[in-house]
């Protein structure tokens, strides 16, 4: 084995962690053993859209994995009712405990039986990991106790009293509640080794901030940015057009409470402005889509509608300013306010004249339609201040930047939210950025870099307007990999009744993603083997009710946007779909609508889900077959070099006195 100066310098640094032959060789043995463990389970979810309760339940039940484990462990030894109750306890331990203990006549006996069952489940889900990894996951308060229970069986004669003694002491010291909560949390953490969120955490649903809080507590996850995510990311960084868009969507879907109460953003200036400007305007086209249980008075609905219209007009103006200073975006077809005949109440689109259903534009100057009024400027400046200074929002967006990216290659799978822009012939579409052409992988890499540069330069006295504008382009640009449509017809949907003007033509990618050759080309572009790799995609809901198949290109591309958001469920016919990738293969899970957390806990009602095995491995996958396995193999090679250097006297062992 030949070692050069650089090798020896690196091995000298490595020797600080493994200062003796014994320690280096022990680590090699440990690493080899890890390579032969079963591959950890991955859980894929997308297009959450603020649906906190449904998202949390599917996350807690791991798309049915926990219930399958319970059935495998207990088989017919316990009743179905008891299995469901045990599963609910694992999903929601704090809330389920309150109900059980309120009704249970013999709590000590229930504790004893439940603890034994939970330990069995925990032992099963932890069996595919090393003791070291499980130990790192253990809750501090009960780490020693849980470890002892996991590795000692009560049926062993020599240990039976010891095992039962631990169980009895947990109950007698009145720590059973806390222990159950801890072990249930541990089970949920161990069942899923990695969580993938394939875009669109925000918008439409009521509680994206709660979804974010759950994600921030997860032990191992990644996020692929969706177009709705970048809107919030840009708004948090002070992009005025994005601030207006966030507020418009919140007003449209009756989610201003999230903006105000959860993120502490003051919308009073906008509300006051809206009442003054549109006091005599019914704003009928801007009535919010009410999806929650909150009941509004007529006055409240009128205010929401006026806010909705006011911020929409501000958004159109701010977006036009970005389009006009970036001719390379080729979005002049989105400059619509100057196409309006304000006297006749009509607009000309593609040479055809359409009548507007709303002609009251008190803040638009026909001679300079894209200029904000003094009052609009004041409103957007005050809103911008609130967005920039929302501590919770800034914390959440930092997390999305830290854990997120435009795409991810993980364990031979390619994950992205929207699309890879293509031409009609299936070739990669070339996009110019600062005079240079990018396509395929280079395009998403460049856009990822621009977004990060914008984020990390946000505190500069003169931030780059081009980076901010590129960030905006990701939301609605026709060649944006996160959007992938010819236009975003927001104006047309509000002001023109003719639905032909509402059509947004998808990028050819969405027709071609069922073509094996096209998918193979994309996988090769990202340096993946088309024979063993898949694309996991979100963004456009799969119309299950019309027979659309989420599995495309002979199983090589899987779309997992199944309508978790209530607003999409009439289109999909289901209430979301998720993907499980374990050591045995790929499982697609489709979900029926989730009623409520309250009903799930009180009645042990799980989401009804159906599973379809997409791919089954002939040989069970091991850690050695994964990305982590590649890293471990590299570590082994480096440690073997270190052993060689020790034995050849090239590096001295270092014995530290104990």
Q: Domain-by-domain residue ranges, the chain? A: 5-37+633-647, 56-191, 227-394+434-493
What pLDDT score was predicted for residue 491? 97
> What pLDDT shows up at residue 424?
97
In the block, which residue shows the tokens 């418009």?
A: 248
As a three-state string, the secondary structure of 471-534 is: HHHHHHCCCCCCCCECCCCHHHHHHECCHHHHCCCECCHHHHCCCHHHHHHHHHHCCCCCCCCE
pLDDT for position 658: 38
- CA 418 from chain centre, in angstroms, equals 13
Residues (pLDDT < 70) of the chain are: 152-159, 291-293, 459-464, 655-658
Distances in Å between the Cα of 604 and the Cα atoms of 71, 103, 595, 598 are: 15, 15, 12, 10
Confidence at residue 346, expressed as pLDDT on a 0 to 100 scale: 97
User: What integer pLDDT is reported at residue 87 of this predicted model?
Assistant: 96
Query: Hey, how many other C-beta atoms are within 10 angstroms of the C-beta on 178?
Result: 16
Report the b/e string of 57-93 with b at 16+ CB within 10 A.
bbbbbbbbbbbbbbeebbeeeeeeebbbbbbbbbbbb
Query: Residue 443's pLDDT is what?
Result: 98
With beta carbons less than 8 A apart as the criterion, state whether 200 and 227 touch.
Answer: yes
Q: Please state, rounded to an integer, the average pLDDT across all residues of the chain.
A: 93
Per-residue pLDDT at 292: 64
Hey, what's the torsion of the CAs at 373, 377, 383, 386, to 10 degrees?
Answer: -160
Contact predicate 409/626, CB 8 Å: no
Q: How far apart are CA 75 and CA 52, in angstroms?
A: 32
Q: For 487-505, give one letter per residue: b (16+ CB within 10 A) or e.
A: bbbbbbebbbeeeebeebe
Strand partners, 476: none
Nearest to 537 by CA among 513, 570, 571, 508: 513
Residue 168 tokens read as 């009895």
β-strands 557-559, 436-438: how paired? unpaired
- Provide the token pair at 239: 């992009």
How distant, in Å, are the alpha carbons of 211, 244, 314, 460, 466 from that of 384?
A: 24, 9, 13, 16, 19
Instruction: List, in order, residues 6 or more apart from 279 with CB less than 8 Å away.
Output: 306
Q: Are 405 and 482 in contact (CB under 8 A)?
A: no
Structure tokens at 648: 């050849």
Neighbours of 222 (CB within 10 A): 15
First-to-last C-alpha distance (Å) of the chain: 33
What is the model's pLDDT at position 297? 87
**What's the CA gap between 79 and 90, in Å, rounded?**
17
Q: How many residues does the chain have?
A: 658
Q: Which residue has the tokens 């389009």?
A: 323
DSSP 54-119: HHHHHHHTGGGHHHHHHHHHHTTSS-HHHHHHHHHHHHSHHHHHHHHHHH-S-HHHHHHHHHHHHH
* C-alpha 615, offset from chain centre: 24
**Residue tagged 């289901």 (tokens):** 574
Cβ contact 182:26 at 8 Å: no
List, edge to edge, every strand of the sheet that includes 221-224.
404-405, 221-224, 194-197, 42-45, 577-582, 585-591, 609-616
Per-residue confidence (pLDDT) for residue 434, from 0 to 100: 86
Number of continuous H segments (helices) and E segments (strands) in the chain: 27, 17
* CB contact at 8 A, 633 and 35: yes
Whether residue 179 contacts residue 170, with contact meaning beta carbons closer than 8 Å, is answered with yes
């Amino acid at each position: 084995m030949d070692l050069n100066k650089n090798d020896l310098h690196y091995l000298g640094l490595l020797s600080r962690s493994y200062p003796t032959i014994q320690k280096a060789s022990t680590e090699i043995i440990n690493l080899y053993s890890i390579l032969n463990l079963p591959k950890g389970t991955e859980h894929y979810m997308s297009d959450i859209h603020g649906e906190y309760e449904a998202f949390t339940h599917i996350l807690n039940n791991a798309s049915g994995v926990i219930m399958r484990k319970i059935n495998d462990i207990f088989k017919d030894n316990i009743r179905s009712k008891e299995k469901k109750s045990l599963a609910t306890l694992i999903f929601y331990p704090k809330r389920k405990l309150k109900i059980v203990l309120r009704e249970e006549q013999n709590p000590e006996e229930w504790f004893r039986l439940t603890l034994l069952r939970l330990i069995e489940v925990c032992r099963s889900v932890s069996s595919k990991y090393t003791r070291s990894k499980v130990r790192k996951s253990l809750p501090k308060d009960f780490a020693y106790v849980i470890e002892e229970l996991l590795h000692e069986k009560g049926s062993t004669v020599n240990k039976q009293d010891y095992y039962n003694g631990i169980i009895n002491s947990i109950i007698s010291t009145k720590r059973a509640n806390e222990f159950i909560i801890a072990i249930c949390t541990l089970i949920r953490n161990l069942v899923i080794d990695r969580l993938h969120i394939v875009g669109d955490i925000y918008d439409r649903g009521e509680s994206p901030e709660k979804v974010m809080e759950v994600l921030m507590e997860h032990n191992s996850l990644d996020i692929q940015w969706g177009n709705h995510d970048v809107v919030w990311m840009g708004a948090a960084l002070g992009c005025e057009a994005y601030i207006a868009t966030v507020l418009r969507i919140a007003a449209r879907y009756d989610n201003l409470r999230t903006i105000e109460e959860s993120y502490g953003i003051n919308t009073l200036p906008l509300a006051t402005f809206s009442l003054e400007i549109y006091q005599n305007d019914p704003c009928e086209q801007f009535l919010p889509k009410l999806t929650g249980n909150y009941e509004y008075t007529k006055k409240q609905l009128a205010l929401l509608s006026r806010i909705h219209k006011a911020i929409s007009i501000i958004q159109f103006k701010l977006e036009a300013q970005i389009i006009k200073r970036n001719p390379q975006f080729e979005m002049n077809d989105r400059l619509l306010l100057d196409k309006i005949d304000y006297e006749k109440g009509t607009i000309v689109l593609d040479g055809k004249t359409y009548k507007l259903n709303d002609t009251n534009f008190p803040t638009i100057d026909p001679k300079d339609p894209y200029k904000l009024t003094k009052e609009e400027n004041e409103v957007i400046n005050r809103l911008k201040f609130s967005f920039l200074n929302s501590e919770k929002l800034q914390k959440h967006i930092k997390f999305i930047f830290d854990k997120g990216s435009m795409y991810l290659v993980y364990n031979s799978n390619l994950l992205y939210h929207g699309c890879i822009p293509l031409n009609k012939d299936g070739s990669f579409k070339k996009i110019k950025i600062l005079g240079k052409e990018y396509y395929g992988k280079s395009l998403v890499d460049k856009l990822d870099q621009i977004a990060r540069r914008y984020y990390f330069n946000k505190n500069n006295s003169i931030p780059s307007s081009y980076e901010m504008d590129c960030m905006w382009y990701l939301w609605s640009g026709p060649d944006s990999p996160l959007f992938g449509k010819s236009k975003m017809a927001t104006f047309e949907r509000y002001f023109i009744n003719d639905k032909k003007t509402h059509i947004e033509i998808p990028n050819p990618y969405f027709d071609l993603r069922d073509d094996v050759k096209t998918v193979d080309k994309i996988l090769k572009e990202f340096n993946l083997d088309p024979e063993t790799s898949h694309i996991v995609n979100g963004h456009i809901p799969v119309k299950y009710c019309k027979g659309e198949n989420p599995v495309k290109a002979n199983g090589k591309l899987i779309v997992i946007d199944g309508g978790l958001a209530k607003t999409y469920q009439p289109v999909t016919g289901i209430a979301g779909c998720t993907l499980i990738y374990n050591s045995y293969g790929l499982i697609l899970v489709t979900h029926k609508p989730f009623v409520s957390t309250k009903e799930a806990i009180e009645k042990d009602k799980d989401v009804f889900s159906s599973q379809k095995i997409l791919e089954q491995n002939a040989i069970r996958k091991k850690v050695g077959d994964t990305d982590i396995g590649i890293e471990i193999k590299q570590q082994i090679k480096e440690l073997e070099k270190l052993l060689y250097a020790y034995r050849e006297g090239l590096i001295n062992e270092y014995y530290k006195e104990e």
